[in-house]
């Protein structure tokens, strides 16, 4: 039983489904304050956040993460209860083990060991922890960043503990993310009897040619840092539930994961031009979740790569693939942001788990990064 495993088990045993924190952040605050961190509890709406900082000087190295987890799904489908952590065959099972309470525990223990050796370290160490990453993300990291920006407090380097690894811990590091934008489209038709289509206007039929065109477009070819922009439909709803009524409306929700080859404004303009070309009545609303960002080679990326090599013996790969993270709120401030965490092969799944050994390896990597940047 290592310190990292102990803390992971404590956090995982708390059923902190978004936006609940269930006392996780107080556990972290108590541990961090004992090593000299100043703790700020910041609550926005129903979301708990903490900003913890040790030191007053620059540069600031921040560890960012979330104590909230996604719902468990049917608990009877779990091999063991999702909020009763259990170790089987070297794996720690429970909701949030990989995404991302294990990373947070590794953050804390890495800092505790580092501070023992470097009580008068350079710069500052900080923690930005939220309970609203897996949900709408409106009262969490984005609000903490707004608070810090308003008082001129900057993060120079940020490590987000998202589960980025694929085959072995540290093999993949995210040094950027694609942009994400959702579209909410309602097509207006005219409801009528299905036997008299000439007296109605079927919105599904109106939409289909335009949707086919949207699905077939090559939006861009990506670049050396980002894969090509992706258009995907996530929801398509219409109909009254009976077989003899032509519906009056059709509702479509779609998402762009986009590269730096195109802006969200350009995507919006192109979608509107296609819809207008097909000449039907519609309403379209947009929600921009985050713009693409990339952290180039520099102090943080170099420290991360060398630390993974020193601890594990192998080289890491930089990637910008995958979903979004709270890094999208931190990078626009000018911070260098990378994401580094455990294996992601069970995240959001039944029987989510993480290797016990990987937790300690991850903590060692975080400690090596601290030594590289602030010792």
Please, are residues 220 and 227 in contact by the beta-carbon 8 Å criterion?
no
68 is catalytic: yes
Q: From the candidates 133, 156, 339, 358, which is the catalytic residue?
A: 133
Q: Which residue(s) pair with 176 in the sheet?
A: 294
**DSSP structure string for 24-86:** HHHHHHHHHHTTT-EEEEEEETTEEEEEEEE-SSSPEEEEEEE--B-----GGGSSS-TTS-E
In eight-state DSSP terms, residue 189 is: -
Residue of 2, 303, 310, 317 whose CA lies nearest to 168: 317
Residue of 14, 139, 33, 28 whose CA lies nearest to 82: 14
Q: Which residue(s) pair with 250 in the sheet?
A: 187, 238
Phi, psi of 214 (to 5 degrees): -65, -35
75 is catalytic: no
Q: From the candidates 21, 68, 99, 352, which is the catalytic residue?
A: 68
Residue 145 CA from chain centroid, whole number: 16
Residue of 11, 333, 17 whose CA lies nearest to 161: 11
Cite the active site residues. 68, 133
């Amino acid at each position: 039983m290592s310190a990292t495993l102990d803390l992971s088990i404590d956090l995982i045993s708390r059923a902190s489904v978004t936006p609940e924190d269930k006392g996780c952040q107080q556990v972290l605050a108590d541990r961090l304050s004992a090593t000299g961190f100043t703790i700020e509890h910041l609550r926005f709406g129903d979301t708990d956040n903490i900003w913890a900082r040790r030191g007053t000087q620059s540069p600031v190295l921040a560890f960012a993460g979330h104590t909230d987890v996604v719902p468990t799904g049917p608990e009877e489908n779990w091999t063991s209860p999702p909020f009763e952590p259990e170790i089987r065959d070297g794996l720690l099972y429970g909701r949030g083990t990989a995404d991302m309470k294990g990373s947070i525990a590794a953050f804390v223990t890495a800092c505790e060991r580092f501070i023992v050796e470097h009580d008068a370290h350079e710069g500052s160490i900080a923690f930005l922890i939220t309970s609203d990453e897996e949900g709408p993300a409106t009262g969490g990291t984005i609000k903490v960043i707004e608070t810090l920006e308003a008082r001129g407090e900057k993060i120079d380097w940020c490590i987000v503990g998202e589960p980025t690894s694929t085959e072995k811990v540290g093999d993949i590091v995210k040094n950027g993310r694609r942009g994400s934008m959702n579209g909410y489209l309602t097509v207006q038709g005219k409801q009528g009897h299905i036997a008299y289509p000439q007296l109605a206007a079927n919105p599904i039929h109106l939409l289909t040619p335009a949707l086919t065109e949207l699905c077939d477009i090559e939006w861009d070819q990506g670049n050396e840092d980002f894969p090509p922009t992706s258009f995907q439909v996530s929801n398509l709803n219409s109909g009254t539930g009976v077989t003899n009524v032509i519906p009056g409306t059709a509702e479509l929700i779609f998402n762009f994961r986009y590269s730096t080859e195109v802006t969200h404004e350009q995507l919006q303009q192109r979608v509107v031009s296609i819809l207008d070309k097909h000449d039907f009545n519609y309403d379209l609303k947009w929600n921009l979740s985050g713009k693409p960002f990339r952290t180039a080679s520099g102090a943080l990326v170099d420290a991360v790569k060398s630390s993974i090599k020193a601890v594990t013996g192998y080289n890491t790969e930089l990637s910008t693939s995958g979903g979004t993270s709270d890094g999208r709120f931190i990078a626009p401030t000018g911070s260098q942001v990378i994401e580094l965490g455990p294996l992601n092969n069970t995240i959001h799944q039944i029987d989510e788990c993480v290797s016990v050994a990987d937790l300690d390896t991850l903590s060692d990597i975080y400690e090596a990064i601290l030594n590289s940047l602030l010792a």
